[in-house]
Structure 1
Amino acid sequence: MTDTAGIRREDIELLAPAGDWECMRAAVANGANAVFFGVEKFNARARANNFKMAELPEIMRFLHRYGVKGFLTFNILVFEDELRDARILVDACIEAGVDAVIVQDLGLVKMIREMSPDFPIHGSTQMTITSPEAVEFTKPFGLERVVLGRENNLKQIRKIGEQAKLPMEVFVHGALCVSYSGQCLTSEVWGGRSANRGECAQACRLPYDLMVDGVHKPMGDIAYLLSPKDLAAIDLVPELIEAGVTSFKIEGRLKSPEYVANVVSKYRRAIDKYFAGDDEGPTEEEVRELQQSFSRGFTHGFLEGTNNKQLVDGTFPKSRGVYLGRVEKIMKDGVICSIEAPLKRGDGLVFDAGDPTKKEEGGRVYDLRRGGLKLDGEVEQGNRIEIVMGRNDVDLTRLHEGDRIWKTSDPALDRRLRSTFETEKPYRTFPVAVTVEGRVGAALRTLWTDLDKGTTVVVSSSMPLEEAQKRPLGQEVLEEQFGRLGGSLYWLEQLQVSLEGDVIVPKSELNRIRREAAEQLELLREQPPRYARLPGASVAAPARAAATAGAVVSEGRESEAVAVASPRMTALCRTLEQVKAAVQTDVAMIYADFEFIKQFPDAIAICREAGKPIALATPRIHMPGENGYHRNILNLKPDAVLVRNTGALYYYLKERAARQLDGRPGEKHPTLIGDFSLNVSNHKTVELFRDVGLDWVTPSYDLNIQQMVDMLRLADTSRLELVLHQHMPMFHTEHCVYCTFMSEGTNFTNCGRPCEESRASLQDRIGMNHPVRVDEGCRNTVYNAIEQSGAEYVTNFLELGVPSYRIEFLEETGEKVHEVLQLYRDALEGRVTGTEVWKKLKATNQLGVTRGQLVK
């Protein structure tokens, strides 16, 4: 167990979401220590109401007034033509005193550090930080905090904290993404709505059929194979504190203010109970109220380890609220049910027949009866009652005995929650200490100290003190007058009186002093922090227009691109058959990207015999304790490593530095190639990764052709490799489809490894089968059924100086590998046009081919 003896209540931050002003007030009123919010651009909740950049000063004054920190979400990838606007927003954040920005894009981190050395940056969960090494990678850039991936369990969180020693923020409540944050390309592939741009279309919440070896597997009423339950870790608050978590993050910038008030107040109480020595968990009523605000069913997610059976229910994708029971009998005006939760008139219900894709009956409870007699008030669980529904709400003929009943709304609860922030009173008050000094003929001098902030103001009377004839000023009178702080942020905790003789001043003057002191202290609370600015960091600094037609002003300087005459081509293979085929072509390098590392030696032997360099691909995720995988890669002595995450990159860079320091003879460190999953979307990110030591960089799959060209014009393209052809990897998940739906087990220790015997795919609503593949860490990748080709843009890329092009295969035969590689070689050499390649691929592929995100 981590030593928590020194942890104080003040060390733990409760971080709440705010999609609008009502939510922000609800968060502050119910005990949040910090709030995260977005403005109209550059945040991962494009569908939220969001705030305006011009509101930043007002927002920060409001939050700081109550001692609450404000973090701006800047957690998306930033495209080349947006860097200037991004700089303007960062500048506004610095000026307004925003307490930190939450950032995904490492290029943006680089730009912020060029503007200010001390402006706080938090690494977003979309940086896919899941290991101590990934945390270490961020340290040279001065990140103040990291938000860990939601797939980390408690043991891993503790290990990351002990090794990396950087404050950790962890999600504790709200919706779970089935895919690793920052690694989901599904919305991008299917609709040009990138999750890395805040435009997630929630494809994980859609129904899918499970296909096993091409045959449909009947699943009964289970259709939502990728739709996880919601995270609720309120009963794990002690374990999280003892694991070293310093910030408890609540998801929900698209949720209602009632949701924010409800969840924040419950976690506030749980944290306070821990530090009060109360080890009782949440009450049954508290859990029900959490479910009522929003719930797809609650789970601990991955915090207690992987349990695929508990993570995904599969029968519904949306919030249900509180489970009430099942229909036992249908009456002419309602149903009979043995209720498993309290119920009262006015509550909202929905009747669940097992198919959420069809219209569901539901409405308000009109009456409650037992044996025909009306029941008043709230009826407790455990009672068998008659639930009378409004005649216009529910078509009782569409109900069935056995249908599940859910309580979807509780107006009384909502009213109670709204009352916490719909009030004229201050949301919080703070203790103040007052010292009073004076003597006859001199002004009354008062010193007021805000004991929460430690700030002091001095307010003196506007008239001299006179000698008292009747009731002189003293402790009692001054406590009465200075204690009347209602309506302000303060209450009087300490009063020290040092008066010489019997003196007096009008009570109206004491009232004025009290009001002025409170106002001055409040203004001091609202003052923004000041951050250092570097020379040349002004937004007005010269910026050069990107040379593409219609492009807006961008940061950076156009690179001196030289058209490539002899481009290199590489092939990524996922089977040994594909490797054997690829080595017979003129590709410059083979990438081996196998499900199981035990196949790597055979691939290396094939390449060595053919005289072809080989690169071994790392997994996309790096967890604590997984460096053995990377040691094995180095022991196999590949020519290169395809690096897919910053944790692995840190490991390889450290190994390279150690070899150079030791001067180990005959040990050549492999070339390091950064893959698409590093999310490179602007020239500053290219520069950052090249500066840290990557030999080659692969741009993000989020870029369309215009955005790609914008970046290539400003980046050093000489060490860039573009992927021209692939099955796009859409979902990348810790949730295993094979384990959940093809075995009796709960995780890799007891699933029986069905992935080694069969091939699964997910069939969508239009009949496309999307292959599901497993990596060495038992993580799943769902690939798009249709291949994507960028062949039509080869000429553009060559003219911009891109020297290397990758062709990726998934299930293709050796013969197909030959055919596809020859097509692209012809295009790269100018013997055929990219359009001809595209048409040929479309004609020969059963499912066709797509241009994918490049034309979004």
Structure 2
Amino acid sequence: MRNGIKREDIELLAPAGNWDCLKAAVANGANAVFFGVEKFNARARAENFQMAELPEIMSYLHMYGVKGFLTFNILVFENELQDAQELIDACINAGVDAVIVQDLGLVKLIREMSPDFPIHGSTQMTITSPEAVEFTKPFDIERVVLGRENSLKEIRKIGEKAKLPMEVFVHGALCVSYSGQCLTSEMWGGRSANRGECAQACRLPYDLMVDGVQKEMGNIAYLLSPKDLAAIELVPELIEAGVTSFKIEGRLKTPEYVANVVSKYRAAIDRYFDGIDTPPNEQEIRELQQSFSRGFTHGFLEGTNNKKLVDGSFPKSRGVYLGEVKKKLSHGLLVEIASPVKRGDGIVFDAGDPTQKEEGGRIYDILSRSKKVEGEVSKGLYEIVMGRNDVNLKRINVGDRVWKTSDPELDKRLRKTFETEKPYHTFPIAVHASGKLGEKLKLTWVDLQAQHAVTNQSQIPLEQALKRPLTHELLHDQLGRLGGTLFHLNQEDLTIELDGELILPVSELNRLRREAAEQLLYLRSKPPVYQKRPVNAFADIPRKKQVEKPLLTALCRSLEQLEAAAQTDVDFLYADFEFVKQYPDAVKLAHRYNKKIGIATMRIHMPDENGVLALIAKAKPDAILVRNTGALYYYMSRRGEINIPLIGDFSLNIANHKAVELFLDCGLERVTPSYDLNIQQMVDLLENADAAQMELVIHQHMPMFHTEHCVYCTFLSEGTDHTNCGTPCETSRVSLKDRVGFSHPVRVDTGCRNTVYNAIDQSGAEYLNEFRSLQVGSYRIEFLEEEPERVQEVISLYRQALRGEVSGTHVWRTLKATNQLGVTRGQLTK
């Protein structure tokens, strides 16, 4: 124990995309493993396991005292609820230790199926505040995975207030967008990040456009591609901040990666509890970089520092920085070496433009002053000789950086840790032997780690010993022969209570030992038993309510847009502004035109941001558009003092009727379905939910990335965060130009978070008749940078369509004709 924290309270949680990764995690000291099966997990590209393997997986993990968590961290569509129920049922039967869940509708279904089956709230739930944690408690979610954007200070605060075990990512790839809030893949390719199909649009190059003019950025092209998280130096601070589970990202990675990273964090955690206050050494950091690294960062754990998060010059793993080319030679290259390297290592030459093909290969020879060097070199000037067919020396220049991309010797060493026939670990047992002359020998065996006990006794009675009686030494020698099993017996853990000098055949002692080992192994691998109830996911489908006159609502992002919209016959307005101080003016403006108005919360809710929520309520709007569960809990828990109707927005990720029920039961007046639904999935949802209490967004610029990383601060300022950036967002408008030539606007919210919006606005007008027949209660139009005249034109067209005066196709075609960028049909067609 250290600082009141016990070693056994800390869990090291490793990823596993296949059996080799699973074994690598167990062999190198993971306390728990997370893995996915063939569907319903956020790594669709991983090899993944099969549902039929669940009993075998859990038996293997439990045998080694390791927990197994199944990732179910995606949104579940209406037509998938039956399959989802089947998978949860299989998890319960196999004794899975918990499911990691994103979809709150699935949480509702699981709780209907079993009151005690453990659920962990995925980072995809976007839990970043104490209030968001509190929101999960009625559903008995036993652990939450915090957003990667939370700092150590915030993590400590959340732990102190919410008092629920917290899991935090400590190593691996970082998403630039908040998990669960990235719609880019869905928008551009119909591959949703909320469905495990992320296309990694953040790793693509973009041009920075400032007020419509391209900013010269040199070799900085990857404006949204973060470095990789490596918090190994912060392990002591994380433990003391109240983190109980250290999560390593990487279900797409190799077993060598898993072995490497798990072993390093195991050592760091153990050092802390052994009272050794030394940080990881240079070799450990280099080996971590070797497995995978786009450059390491502490992410947001030490607070926001926009200058340290994104390098911008390359989007892929580079490995270890090796040195710089100093001279080109006839047979190779003279390189100033800065890190250890040897023959057979793989290297790449970096000319500063990763969009071009890079030269690289394996080192054939290392020479010092034209003499071959055996073994490893670490620093100094050396001649590097490459295989003749590997590298075109003409394409390499003096000054090029050199990276070590692979180390076969390290990989071989890592493979040895899990490619073995012997057990990776053995566990201590205690044995108590008792007996009297003429009676049977009774042995009680206790698995000290798993706290299981079995008792067995000899088949023949104890006899008087003429020579070699059952001494402590003899019994330990025979009962401790546990090689090849998972157990070992220490001298001090054997106790004897024998009456006199007694004897029993060695063969009988061997039989007792084998029998006990088998029984203890069975107890280890036996699945836990959870309660189960029969459930029909579609048992309580509500009756359709007739909607004679659905609402038409408009969300505006400036006072000018709001005034233009207020002068139309739109039924309801929303204000979603960058500056909170404008909200009272927005409410007064809307009321001056006799319009009701709702104010949107920020999409993310952090500790200490309740003041913004209080200011929204203080402006006395007619409703609040709630965008996260933290804000929802804040208003729900203050119903006595803040009695303003609440409307749920798209970012609550409602994708099935169970989620609709859950949020309506929380007191929301109406809810907005997730943008991940295509037309068929939307129709399926509307058929099974109370469509009259649903609001569909039928015209908008898709908010693609939502990120703590501020493009304005990073590239238009010398500062590191909002305290010293000089607020360039107040004087300039930034957009990101993609390779196709579209410029995607970047807007800032009150919390200085950036949203990258799709350049092209999209329309669902063609489906209006279908939605009308399904009795949808409300339709929303969202504006971004439109001029007032455009606002009024768009509202007018949709009003005509709702009245049946023009077709949805006419609306879409008209908007396309009057917008030079055109309008896509958006995610509804994917």
Pick the TM interval, shorter chain: over 0.9
Matched, 1:502 2:501: yes
Maintained 8 Å contact 1:229/1:297: yes
SS of aligned partner of 2:614: helix
Structure 1: how far apart are the matches of 2:184 and 2:85?
A: 29
SS of aligned partner of 2:638: helix
Percentage of identical aligned residues: 71
Structure 1: how far apart are the matches of 2:474 and 2:130?
A: 60
SS of aligned partner of 1:571: strand
2:282 to 274, 281, 284: 284
Maintained 8 Å contact 2:40/2:72: yes
Shift of 1:716: 1.0
Maintained 8 Å contact 2:587/2:620: no
SS of aligned partner of 2:37: coil
SS of aligned partner of 1:826: helix
Structure 2: how far apart are the matches of 1:818 and 1:454?
A: 71
Structure 1: how far apart are the matches of 2:3 and 2:721?
A: 34
Matched, 1:524 2:526: no
Shift of 1:441: 3.1
1:180 to 178, 181, 185: 178
Shift of 1:843: 1.3
Deviations 1:319-359 (A, max 9, x none): 00000111111112221111111000000001111111111
Deviations 1:648-696 (A, max 9, x none): 111111121x33xxxxxxxx72211110000000000000000011111
1:450 to 441, 447, 451: 447
In structure 1, the residue matched to 2:386 is 389
SS of aligned partner of 1:328: strand
Matched, 1:632 2:632: no
1:22 to 20, 23, 26: 20
Matched, 1:297 2:295: yes
Shift of 1:236: 0.2
In structure 1, the residue matched to 2:638 is 655
In structure 1, the residue matched to 2:602 is 619
Q: Structure 1 residues 572-581 or 204-213, which shifts more?
A: 572-581
Deviations 1:477-498 (A, max 9, x none): 1111111111111110211122
Matched, 1:727 2:701: yes
In structure 1, the residue matched to 2:767 is 793
Shift of 1:296: 0.3
SS of aligned partner of 2:179: coil
Deviations 1:194-244 (A, max 9, x none): 000000000000000000000000100000000000000000001001101
Shift of 1:566: 1.5
In structure 1, the residue matched to 2:573 is 590
Maintained 8 Å contact 1:564/1:799: no
Maintained 8 Å contact 1:333/1:391: no
Q: Structure 1 residues 443-452 or 766-775, which shifts more?
A: 443-452
Cα distance change on mapping 1:558 and 1:653 into 2, 3 Å: closer
Deviations 1:604-659 (A, max 9, x none): 22212111111111110000000000111111111111110000111111121x33
Structure 2: how far apart are the matches of 1:107 and 1:266?
A: 38
Structure 1: how far apart are the matches of 2:543 and 2:601?
A: 33
Tell me the amino acid that sits aligned with residue 117 of structure 1.
Answer: P
Unpaired stretches in structure 1, ≥5 consecutive residues: 544-554, 660-667
In structure 2, the residue matched to 1:143 is 141
In structure 1, the residue matched to 2:410 is 413
Structure 2: how far apart are the matches of 1:633 and 1:499?
A: 77
Maintained 8 Å contact 1:559/1:713: no
SS of aligned partner of 1:842: helix
Structure 1: how far apart are the matches of 2:597 and 2:520?
A: 66
1:56-205 matches, within 5 Å, as 56-205=54-203
Deviations 1:164-215 (A, max 9, x none): 0001000000000000000000000000000000000000000000000000
In structure 2, the residue matched to 1:363 is 361
Structure 2: how far apart are the matches of 1:852 and 1:321?
A: 38
Maintained 8 Å contact 2:547/2:692: no
Q: Structure 1 residues 422-431 or 192-201, which shifts more?
A: 422-431
In structure 2, the residue matched to 1:687 is 661
Tell me the amino acid that sits aligned with residue 806 of structure 1.
Answer: R
Maintained 8 Å contact 1:556/1:714: no
Deviations 1:99-151 (A, max 9, x none): 10000000000011101111110000000000000001111110100000000
Deviations 1:527-581 (A, max 9, x none): 11111223x33xxx5x6xxxxxxxxxxx345442245332210100011111111
Shift of 1:308: 0.6
Structure 1: how far apart are the matches of 2:645 and 2:568?
A: 22
Structure 1: how far apart are the matches of 2:471 and 2:278?
A: 47
Deviations 1:273-299 (A, max 9, x none): 001111110000000000000000000
Shift of 1:504: 2.2
In structure 1, the residue matched to 2:674 is 700
Tell me the amino acid that sits aligned with residue 676 of structure 2.
Answer: D
Q: Structure 1 residues 557-566 or 28-37, which shifts more?
A: 557-566
Maintained 8 Å contact 1:4/1:242: no
Tell me the amino acid that sits aligned with residue 807 of structure 2.
Answer: T
Tell me the amino acid that sits aligned with residue 92 of structure 1.
Answer: A
Shift of 1:4: 6.9
In structure 1, the residue matched to 2:725 is 751
Maintained 8 Å contact 2:173/2:229: yes
Maintained 8 Å contact 1:167/1:245: yes
Shift of 1:46: 0.4
What count of residue pairs does the alignment treat as equivalent?
A: 828
Structure 1: how far apart are the matches of 2:624 and 2:124?
A: 23
Maintained 8 Å contact 1:479/1:495: yes
1:601-612 matches, within 5 Å, as 601-612=584-595
Tell me the amino acid that sits aligned with residue 747 of structure 1.
Answer: D
Shift of 1:254: 0.4
1:214-233 matches, within 5 Å, as 214-233=212-231
Cα distance change on mapping 1:48 and 1:575 into 2, 3 Å: same
Matched, 1:818 2:817: no
2:652 to 678, 695, 700: 678
Which TM-score applies when normalising by structure 2? 0.99
Structure 1: how far apart are the matches of 2:631 and 2:546?
A: 33
In structure 2, the residue matched to 1:665 is none
Matched, 1:837 2:811: yes
Structure 1: how far apart are the matches of 2:522 and 2:638?
A: 53
Tell me the amino acid that sits aligned with residue 265 of structure 1.
Answer: S
2:802 to 828, 841, 845: 828
Structure 1: how far apart are the matches of 2:229 and 2:673?
A: 33
Maintained 8 Å contact 1:316/1:356: yes
Structure 2: how far apart are the matches of 1:117 and 1:826?
A: 49
Structure 2: how far apart are the matches of 1:510 and 1:329?
A: 73
Which TM-score applies when normalising by structure 1? 0.96
In structure 1, the residue matched to 2:312 is 314
Structure 1: how far apart are the matches of 2:327 and 2:505?
A: 76
Structure 1: how far apart are the matches of 2:181 and 2:519?
A: 49
Tell me the amino acid that sits aligned with residue 396 of structure 1.
Answer: L
Maintained 8 Å contact 1:481/1:510: yes
In structure 1, the residue matched to 2:692 is 718
SS of aligned partner of 2:637: helix
In structure 2, the residue matched to 1:11 is 9
Matched, 1:515 2:489: no
Structure 2: how far apart are the matches of 1:340 and 1:508?
A: 62
Deviations 1:53-102 (A, max 9, x none): 11111111001101111000010000001111111111111111111000
In structure 1, the residue matched to 2:209 is 211
SS of aligned partner of 2:251: coil
Structure 1: how far apart are the matches of 2:755 and 2:430?
A: 60
